[in-house]
């Protein structure tokens, strides 16, 4: 009596036939792509590594063409597995992969090699990153792969609620109050305890307005333009430029009718939503040169002086 093989009998039905085809297809696929599932994206905590590709100086288009298909297949596989990354990074310590059997931490110092490419990959540790680097086809062409761990990127500044409010106060001071000459609103942003810039014992809105008014009287069409605005704790730093026509007396100097541009950095200190102190670093010399008090060719400017002459 011939015994029936239950494993074979199940494929005599239509359902069994489908199962057999699917089973065979999966087995064939698994054999062809055995390395496709080696690095599952969520199985480990991944880090980023930089692969710096060093190649001989003589390396050219012919050599690159010879391994293009291998590179494409490798990077496609890495992309499919979430290994391939492309971004700006900060390099850290490095290992040198000179071949499939050679790994060292010695620096590369050579006049015979050139860096032609940078690839960013993900791996769980240096060991795995090196194993991935050893798959690079340029190792077959006297190339070297330098493996570096990517250092953590600097944390992005997050403004506190107070810092955001303080920035808005200073922005409003320039773009709304000063540019539109709404002096009646200064009480809302300038503290009675405000210490003026160069006004001795004077305080509050009177001190602030006296300083600003002297500039506005000399340049009636003056407009401030904020370039940078940053906050840290109770201080706000603003970098601005202003433009105006010198049609009025400027600190005892007669009007020149010249168009003038000035720039400065000002640090404001705030308390309870109002400015209590300020420090300004401007370009007074540049203004005097532009209105014609000081000849522009009289002074040899240097980067350290940072003089703007129009």
Query: How confident is the model over 181-239, as pLDDT tens digits?
Result: 999 999 999 999 998 776 566 789 999 999 999 999 999 999 999 999 999 999 999 99
CATH of 40-150, one of 3.30.70.1060, 3.90.1150.10, 3.30.1600.10, 3.40.50.720: 3.30.70.1060
pLDDT band at 26 (very low <50, low <70, confident <90, very high): very low
pLDDT reported for residue 114: 65
Q: Which of 258, 264, 265 is nearest to 292 (CA)?
A: 258
Q: How many Å apart are CA 205 and CA 185, to the nearest integer?
A: 10
Q: Whole-model pTM above 0.75?
A: no
Q: What percent of the chain has pLDDT over 90?
A: 35
Residue 109 structure tokens: 């110092």
Question: 309 phi and psi, to 5 degrees?
Answer: -120, 130
Per CATH, the number for 161-290 is 3.10.450.50
Provide the residue ranges of all domains of the chain, joining segments of one domain with +: 40-150, 161-290
Helices (H), 198-291: 204-218, 284-290
**Distances 282 to 264, 279, 285 between C-alpha atoms, Å:** 4, 10, 9
pLDDT band at 4 (very low <50, low <70, confident <90, very high): very low
């Amino acid at each position: 009596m011939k015994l029936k093989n239950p494993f074979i009998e199940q494929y005599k039905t239509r359902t069994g036939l489908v199962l057999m085809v699917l089973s065979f297809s999966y087995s064939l696929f698994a054999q062809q792509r055995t390395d496709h599932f080696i690095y599952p994206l969520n199985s480990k905590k991944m880090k980023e590594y930089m692969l710096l590709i060093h190649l001989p100086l003589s390396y050219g288009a012919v050599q690159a063409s010879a391994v293009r298909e291998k590179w494409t297949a490798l990077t496609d596989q890495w992309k499919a597995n979430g290994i391939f990354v492309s971004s700006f990074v900060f390099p850290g310590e490095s290992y040198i992969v000179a071949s499939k059997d050679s790994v060292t931490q010695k620096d590369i110092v050579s006049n015979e090699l050139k860096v032609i490419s940078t690839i960013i990959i993900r791996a769980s540790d240096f060991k795995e990153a090196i194993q991935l680097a050893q798959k690079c086809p340029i190792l077959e062409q006297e190339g070297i792969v330098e493996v570096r761990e990517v250092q953590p990127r600097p944390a992005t500044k997050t403004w506190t609620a107070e810092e955001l409010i303080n920035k808005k106060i200073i922005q409003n001071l320039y773009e709304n109050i000063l540019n539109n000459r709404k002096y009646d609103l200064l009480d809302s942003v300038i503290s009675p305890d405000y210490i003026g810039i160069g006004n001795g014992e004077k305080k509050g809105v009177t001190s602030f307005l006296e300083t600003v008014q002297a500039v506005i009287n000399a340049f009636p069409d003056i407009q401030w333009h904020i370039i940078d605005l940053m906050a840290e704790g109770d201080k706000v730093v603003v970098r601005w430029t202003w433009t105006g026509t010198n049609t009025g007396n400027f600190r005892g100097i007669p009007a020149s009718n010249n168009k003038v541009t000035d720039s400065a950095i000002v640090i404001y200190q705030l308390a309870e939503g109002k400015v209590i102190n300020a420090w300004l670093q401007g370009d007074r010399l540049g203004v005097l040169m532009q209105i014609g008090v000081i000849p522009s060719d009289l002074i040899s400017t240097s980067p350290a002086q940072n003089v703007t002459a129009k």
